Amino acid sequence: MAEEIQVSVVMPVYNGENYIRQAVESVKKQQAVSWELFIIDDCSTDGTARILKEYECDSRIRLIQNKKNSGVAESRNIGIRLARGTYVAFLDADDWWTEDKLAVQCRLLEQKQMVLCCTGRELMEPSGKSTGKIIHVPETITYEMLLKTNHIPCSSVLMKTEVAREFYMDHAELHEDYILWLRVLGKYGKVCGIDEPMLKSRMSEGGKSRNKIKSAWMHWNVYRLMGIGWFRSSWYMVHYIVNGLKKYH
């Protein structure tokens, strides 16, 4: 009988030839957990496809080529639909994990009977060298806390697959992952965090969150999408800005 899969890892990639080996290898090094990895190539124009051919012989890794450029949200949704694991984890192609991340998260979710777990992260330079900055996460995150700042790094998330399929990701023009976390917390009340930098998060130059004005505009529109009134949205934006200044400085 085939081993039951605990975690389905979903990795979207677009032009990730410089980093994707490190991301994939960090999945392959995961200890004490059975996993499968879906790599969704969103029509890369660099050498990503050539590098991914190196992993074709690993039966745990499935390579998927989008027929058209569909964006990160839909690419992740493809992985969610295909997932066979009890849990689904997200990992961007320019980030990587510590070797014990998935096993520790699986144990904590089973212990606390929650639907989602995130971890702290260490910010890395594009070269992969540490910036020395650690972004912490609370042990418990509520809906109200999440409205004030996004405590949940996407590449750190492990969540129940059945819950991911309740919502999926949409509105890629905004913060699609943040919208998903808010919807999950709106239904399930709270999720858990591990305040250890098990995620190594590369500060890529092209990320949409790097443009702070654009990111703030997207954040405001997430509040409006969630049906939050103008006054409350303004109040939460103040928290978002203050927390953002504390987080990255």
pLDDT tens digits for range 88-146: 999 999 999 999 999 999 999 999 999 999 999 999 999 999 999 999 999 999 999 99
What confidence score (pLDDT) does residue 242 get? 86
Q: What is the pTM of this model?
A: 0.93
Residue 41 CA, distance from chain mean position: 16
2-24 pLDDT, tens digit per residue, is 568 999 999 999 999 999 999 99
What confidence score (pLDDT) does residue 99 get? 98
H-type alpha helices, the chain: 20-28, 48-52, 71-82, 101-112, 143-148, 161-167, 176-188, 212-225, 230-248
What residue ranges define each of the domains in the chain, with the CATH number in brackets? 7-248 (3.90.550.10)
In this prediction, residues 64-92 reach a mean pLDDT of 97
**In the predicted structure, residue 208 carries a pLDDT above the cut 70:** no
* Token output for 63: 């390579």
CB contact at 8 A, 143 and 116:
no
Distance, CA of 222 to CA of 147 (rounded, Å): 10
CB contact at 8 A, 57 and 28:
no
Confidence band, pLDDT 50/70/90 cuts, at residue 1: very low
CA atoms within 13 A on the CB side of 151: 26
